[in-house]
Structure 1
Amino acid sequence: MHRILIYPLIAVLLLASSVTIASAEEAGNEQETYKRLLQRIDGSIVALRHGGSASGGLSEAQTLYSNLVENENFDNRPELLETNNRITQAFSSLQQSATEENIRDLRLDISLMASELGVGLPFNFEHALFFILGIGIFVALIVTLISRRVVNWERMKQIKAEVSAFQQELRDARSKQDMKRLYKVQQDQKRIMALQGQMMKENFKPMLFYIVPYFIFWFVLSGMYSGWVVAWLPFRLDLPFFGKWASCGFLSWYLLTYFGFSQIWRKLLIRE
C-alpha cells in the first residue's frame, strides 16, 4: 500500500518543480507588464465575442503598452518607430470602433515590438496550451495508475454484470407485464442496491491517495492562469446556464484534456 503513495508524490515533485521554474521565469517587470498587456488584449476580444465592449480592456492595454516602451528611444531605429506609431494609432482607432480582426492585428504588432525589445513571455504562458495539456495528460495517467492498483476491478466487473442482468430482467418483466416474474425480480432489489453501494466505495478509494496534492496544484495553477486565454474556440457557443463560451481558460482547457485522456488511459491500462 505504501508503494501506491509514490505516484502522487512523484506528481507533487514534478509539478512543484514545473511551477517553481515557471514562477522563476516570470521575474522582471517588463516581462510581467508584457504578460498583463496581452492578457488585456485577449480580454477585449473575449468581451467582443460575448457581445460586450472592448474599450475597457483596450484602455488598460494602452496604459500597459506605454509603460512597456516608456524608456525606449526609437530615434535611431526607424523600423521600431514605425511599428510604435502603428500601435499607437491602432489603440486610438480601436477605441472608436473595434473588431476582432483589428485587435488581433494590434496584438501581432505588440508581439513583434516586444520581440525586438527582447521581452517575451514565460514558457508556461507562451506555450500554455501545450503546458496545460501535458499536465492534464500526466495527472490523468497518475490517477489511472492509482485506480488500477487500489480498485478490485475483477469484483467491479462482476457487480456490473449482475446489475446489468437485473436491470434487463426488470425491463423484460415490465414490458411483458408479467407480475409474478416482476415480483420475483423486485425481491432481489435490495441486494442489487447493496452491490451498487460496494461499487461506489470502490470508485472512491483512489481519491484517498491523490485528493490532497490534486487540490493543492489545482489551487496553484488556477491562480497562476487566472484571466489568461489558453485556447480560442473557432466559434462562439451559447450554452444554457453557463452563458456564452468563446475561449478556454485554464479551467475549461484542463478539464477537457484531463477527462479526455482519462478515458484513453483507462481503456489502455484498466480495460474496463
Structure 2
Amino acid sequence: MRYLNEYSITAIISVLLVIGLFTIAVTEQSTQEDESNDLKKLLVTIDGSIKTLRLRGENSASDVLEGIQSQYNSFTSPYESDNFDNKPNLVKLNQEIDNKLAKLKQSPDKNSIRELRGMIQEMANELGVRLSFIYENSMIIILGVSFILSLIMSIIIKIGVNWEKIRGIRIELKNWQDKLRQAQLKSKKKEIRKLKLQQGEMSERQNTILMTDLKQAILYLIPFVLAWVWLSTIYQDWVVAWLPFNLPWPDFGIRLFSGTVASMGFLGWYLLSYFGFAQIWRRFLIPSH
C-alpha cells in the first residue's frame, strides 16, 4: 500500500506539471505579439524552402525564396524609419540579407538558406523582436511533455498489472518449452505426449501475456495521440531541433528526397522523446517486465 501511495502521489504531481506546461503554452500562444508572430511565420517559410528544395528542386525553391523577400520586407518595414537611420549596423545587416536572398533566388542552397535564417534571427534580436516562449523553447517543452506523460503511463501500468503473475507465467512457459525441447532431442515420446497435453493451457497463458502487452501499447498510445493532436496545432511546420550533425536517411528502398537529416519537426522530436522516455521508465519501474 505504501508503494501504491507513492506511485499515486507521483502520478498526481506529474499530471499537475503537464497541466502547468499546457497552461503556460496556451497563455504564451494567446498573448504573443503580432511582430513575434510575423517572425515565426517568416522562419517557417525559410524552413519550408529547404523542404521545397529537397522535394521539388531549385525552381520551386526560388519561388518560395521570392515570397521570403516579401515577408522579410513586411517584417522590417515598421522599424526602418526609427531604427535603421540611427543604427548603421542594422543597415549593413539588412543589405547583407538582401544580397543573400538575391543570390539564393538565383541558386538555392540548403546551407546558405540556414545562414539566411540565422541572419534574420540576428536582425530580429537587434530590433528587439523575439519569438514567443513556446517557439523559443519548443524542444524543451515537447521534451517535458514527453517526460511527464510517459512517466504517468508507466506508473499506471506499474500499478494496474500484476507483474508477479506475469513473471510467473513467463517462467512457467520457459520451463515447459525447455522440457519439450529436451524431450524431443532425446526422443522421449511418452514425455512429449504428456507435455503436449498441456499445450492448450500454455497457449492460454501465452495469450495472457500478449493481451498484457497489447493493453500496455494502447495505454501508451492514447496520451501520445491526444498530445500529438494538441501539439500539431501549435508546432505544425515548425523545426523543433537542428541536429549538430547530419545523419544519413535510413534506406527502406524508397527515398523521398536526397541529402541527409539535419533537422527534426515536432512529430519526429515528440516520437523520439516520448517513446525513448517510455523505455527508460519501463526499465526503471518494471525491471523484469
Per-residue deviation, 1:113: 0.4
Equivalent of 1:16 in 16, 19, 27: 19
Q: Distance in 2 between matches of 1:251 and 1:170?
A: 46
Which moves more between the two structures, 22-31 or 162-171? 162-171
Name the amino acid aligned to 1:63.
Answer: S
Contact 2:21 2:145 in 1 (8 A): no
Which moves more between the two structures, 56-65 or 190-199? 56-65
Per-residue deviation, 1:166: 3.2
Which moves more between the two structures, 50-59 or 220-229? 50-59
TM-score normalised according to structure 2 size: 0.80
Secondary structure of the residue aligned to 1:260 is helix
Q: 1:96 to 1:154 in 2, by over 3 A?
A: same
Contact 1:84 1:113 in 2 (8 A): yes
Pair 1:236-2:262 in alignment: no
Name the amino acid aligned to 1:252.
Answer: G
Which moves more between the two structures, 99-108 or 159-168? 159-168
1:252 is aligned to: 268
Residues 22-63 of structure 1 deviation map (CA, whole Å, 9 limit, x = unaligned) = 233232211111111111212222344557443344233323
Pair 1:216-2:223 in alignment: no
Name the amino acid aligned to 1:124.
Answer: I
1:154 is aligned to: 164
Q: Distance in 2 between matches of 1:174 and 1:46?
A: 58
Secondary structure of the residue aligned to 1:227 is coil
2:202 is aligned to: 192
2:152 is aligned to: 142
Contact 2:15 2:152 in 1 (8 A): no
Q: Where do 5+ consecutive residues of structure 1 fail to align? A: none
Q: 1:59 to 1:172 in 2, by over 3 A?
A: farther
Per-residue deviation, 1:110: 0.2
Equivalent of 2:41 in 24, 36, 39: 36
User: Superposed, which structure 2 residues align to 1:28-67 within 5 Å?
Assistant: 28-49=33-54, 52-53=57-58, 54-67=61-74
2:285 is aligned to: 269
Secondary structure of the residue aligned to 2:78 is coil
**Number of residue pairs the alignment of both structures matches:** 272
Per-residue deviation, 1:130: 2.2
Name the amino acid aligned to 1:267.
Answer: R
Contact 2:45 2:68 in 1 (8 A): yes
Secondary structure of the residue aligned to 1:71 is helix
Per-residue deviation, 1:208: 8.4
Q: Distance in 2 between matches of 1:169 and 1:219?
A: 49
Q: Where do 5+ consecutive residues of structure 2 fail to align? A: none
Q: 1:49 to 1:253 in 2, by over 3 A?
A: same
Which moves more between the two structures, 94-103 or 38-47? 38-47
Q: 1:164 to 1:179 in 2, by over 3 A?
A: same
Which moves more between the two structures, 153-162 or 204-213? 204-213
Which moves more between the two structures, 55-64 or 68-77? 55-64
User: Superposed, which structure 2 residues align to 1:94-109 within 5 Å?
Assistant: 94-109=104-119
Contact 1:39 1:228 in 2 (8 A): yes
Contact 1:146 1:206 in 2 (8 A): no
Q: 1:211 to 1:109 in 2, by over 3 A?
A: closer
Secondary structure of the residue aligned to 2:74 is helix
Q: Distance in 1 between matches of 2:62 and 2:181?
A: 60
Name the amino acid aligned to 1:68.
Answer: F
Name the amino acid aligned to 1:145.
Answer: I
TM-score normalised according to structure 1 size: 0.84
Secondary structure of the residue aligned to 1:230 is strand
Secondary structure of the residue aligned to 1:118 is coil
1:72 is aligned to: 79
Secondary structure of the residue aligned to 2:248 is strand
Aligned Cα root-mean-square deviation (Å): 3.1
